[in-house]
Structure 1
Amino acid sequence: MGILDGLMGNASEADLQAVEKDLENIVTENERVEKAFKIIRDLIVFTNKRLILIDKQGMTGKKVEYHSVPYRSVTHYSVETAGTFDMDAELKIFISSTAHPISKQFRKDKSIYDVQKALATYVNQ
């Protein structure tokens, strides 16, 4: 991923070894990181057991929220592509028993499709 892509909000595949090292206290013994996408400082991580949404907060990014979603809890998801004047694309993930979807913003590029394909692969297993 180029630095400009990261600053623009374009998702790109993250280095799996680095992600595994960062998540060594989060993943379980029989769980492995299989795919990960970085959006600026945040991550969308697909393991063999669940989806982990990582939100780095604050100026330094030391405060981190780990939102863990078992794949069986994803009821549906949607992709809203960017238009001519609208520069943002949006991925919405609907979780059972929640009123509002999890929403992630992407810039006008093709990376939202890569994330959507990974989500389709893991949710439909």
Structure 2
Amino acid sequence: MIDFQQGFVKLAPINPEQIMPLLSPMIVDNESIVAAFRTVRDSVVFTDKRIIAINVQGITGKKTAYTSLPYSKVQAFSIETAGVLDRDCEIELYFSALGKVKFEIKGNFNIVHFNKILSQYVL
């Protein structure tokens, strides 16, 4: 499993179609992607059912670890909007038996709107 205590390097929003070749074996029937983010090699995808963290491993990148975090296990969450000097926004989720999971998002991303979407699945 991915070590969430170290957190992800700053994630950049991407078009969900870019991640589908890597993600399609993991998606279940009637599951749709809400938002997708990528670092240099790793990705995080928010669906309407869960969060899927994709950790590409090894020199060749052929080994991949998938971690599924269901919204039903989220006990609390918070967001932090970008500021003038700190242009990154953050999402922190607190999972039972796992602890805090933090995602830093760089670039232009509407975290306030995303908070409403996330609230629909967590609350």
TM-score normalised to structure 2 length: 0.66
Q: Which structure has greater helix proportion?
A: 1
Partner of 1:82: helix, strand, or coil? Answer: coil
**C-alpha contact 1:43 1:54 (8 A) present in aligned 2:** yes
Q: Which runs of 5+ in 2 are unaligned?
A: 1-9
Partner of 2:12: helix, strand, or coil? Answer: coil
Matches within 5 A, 1:1-125: 9-15=11-17, 19=20, 21-28=21-28, 30-40=29-39, 41=41, 42-47=43-48, 49-57=49-57, 60-99=60-99, 101-124=100-123
Distance 1:118 1:83, change over 3 A: same
Deviation at 1:108, TM superposition (A): 4.7
**Residue 4 of structure 2 corresponds to which residue in structure 1?**
none
**C-alpha contact 1:82 1:88 (8 A) present in aligned 2:** yes
Provide runs of 4+ in structure 1 moved above 6 Å. none
Distance 1:82 1:58, change over 3 A: farther
Distance 1:38 1:91 in 2: 12
Deviation at 1:37, TM superposition (A): 1.2
Deviation at 1:78, TM superposition (A): 0.9
Distance 1:75 1:85, change over 3 A: same
Distance 1:36 1:9, change over 3 A: closer
**C-alpha contact 2:74 2:93 (8 A) present in aligned 1:** yes
When the two chains are superposed, the root-mean-square deviation of aligned CA atoms in Å is: 2.9
Deviation at 1:93, TM superposition (A): 1.1
Q: How many residues align?
A: 112
Distance 1:91 1:110, change over 3 A: same
Q: Percent identity?
A: 29
Greater relative contact order structure (CA < 8 Å, 6+ sep): 2
**Residue 4 of structure 1 corresponds to which residue in structure 2?**
none
Q: Which runs of 5+ in 1 are unaligned?
A: 1-7
Partner of 1:52: helix, strand, or coil? Answer: strand
